Amino acid sequence: MKRKTLFALSAVIMVAAAALVPVLWSGSDNIHGGSAMAASPADQAALIKKGEYLARAGDCVACHTVRGGKPFAGGLPMATPFGTMYTPNITPDEQYGIGKWSSDDFYRAMHTGRGKNGELLYPGFPFTSYTKVTRADSDAIYAYLRSVTPVAQPSREHELRFPFNQRNMLIGWRTLFFREGEYKPDPTKSVEWNRGAYLVEGLGHCGMCHTSINALGGSNQSAAFAGGLIPLQNWYAPSLTSSKEAGLGDWDLKDISDLLKTGVSQRGAVFGPMSEVVHNSLQYMTDEDIRAMSTYLKTIPQKKEAPETIQLETSAAFGKELFEQGKKIYNDQCAKCHAENGLGYPPHFPPLANNQSVQMQSAVNPIRMVLNGGYPPSTHANPEPYGMPPFAHSMSDQEVAAVVTYLRMAWGNKGTPVSPQQVNELRSAPLD
């Protein structure tokens, strides 16, 4: 669950995507584990280790580290529909970082979305999800961040347009879109299911990408996990509630777990922002936590229809013409890896036949893959992933539209034709 790429006032910090571990909780419940209070050097070392795991689970490094920069020193620009936001320094530097923050200050930021001095934080920081994180887990993350190397780098001011640069406006936003409160286990569900729900809805903040946002930057909770286009990034985070998209109800737990942990499975592979989530975060999670997340994701209620998306339409006659042109291009350029029957050679060359990701109502992702290519993430379990070459330099807009149309309609796939105009709009989209 870059995932993190979040892009509106409510979604400027991550992606997906995603994140999770035998975490330090404060209760006696099995999913909550032990105490957050360290009484000895050994206890403190264990607390820091737990905190490192949890920081991985929350994919903190993705937003708070500039590529090639010092870890957690901030400064990453995040484009939003309201202007550019810059992530803060969260190293223990006393002047520019969180060196003077107490664990209470840190928990308040995580739980209530307020800074050290009580100021309202912009929801690019996903406190709407992090509010579910327990105090014990917050203390563990705090202990870890206090242990990293301090960096004397000042945080850069956001560059938001008026009136979005007025923090007092956040009072109304919070009234509409923020509900404070730690995760409460569902007593009718298993310990494993509750663990997965805690990770997916809390630190993993998966809903920030997989739930559409409105004009005010608030998540549409009536369509939670129903997918949506990531603003300015032009990647589509598929619905987890529809079997026509990324609904996982008919997936084996092993295939879901493989996809989360390694980026590839017998059912497909991840690319784009989700690839970064797997690379930075999910591959480091324990098998038990990955299975817990998979268990929860598999039970998200499935809906018969995918959500509405804006899609340029072609006439039936032109769609047929594109299909025939695309068939020839596919056999010449794609069949060697994905097979003439579209079944591919998984997990390295994913199947395209009966693949929800190529036949969703939104064709954004397959268009971008043909144009820009890409790789699944390099993970411990799959260190040298097979990649997809880019075709933007060698195919016209109509040729890309043709081959994507073929992928979406061949072998019994239920997609619709793709417009060359849509390909043209995505040709200049940012690569990450």
Closest CA to 395 of 405, 409, 387, 385: 405
| 32 marked as part of a ligand binding site | no
CB atoms inside a 10 Å sphere around CB 116: 14
In sequence order, the 6+-apart residues with CB closer than 8 A to the CB of 75 are: 66, 69, 86, 87, 89, 153, 155, 156
- The answer to whether 337 is annotated as binding is yes
What sign has the CA pseudo-torsion 232, 234, 240, 242?
A: positive
Alpha-carbon distance values, 151 to 67, 75, 93, 138, 156 (Å): 15, 12, 6, 22, 14
Tokens coding 198: 């805690």
Please give the helix or strand (H or E) that residue 392 lies within, else none.
none
> Backbone dihedral region of 202: left (phi > 0), alpha (psi from -120 to 50 degrees) or beta?
alpha
3-state DSSP call for residue 163? coil
DSSP line for 379-390: BTTBSS---B--
Beta bridge partners of 230: 235
The verdict on whether residue 338 carries a ligand-binding annotation is yes
Strand pairing report for 235-237 and 264-265: unpaired
Say whether 380 counts as a known binding-site residue. no
Answer yes or no: is 334 a known binding residue: yes
Q: Give the residue ranges of the annotated binding site.
A: 60, 63-64, 206, 209-210, 334, 337-338
Q: Give the residue ranges of the annotated binding site for heme c.
A: 60, 63-64, 206, 209-210, 334, 337-338
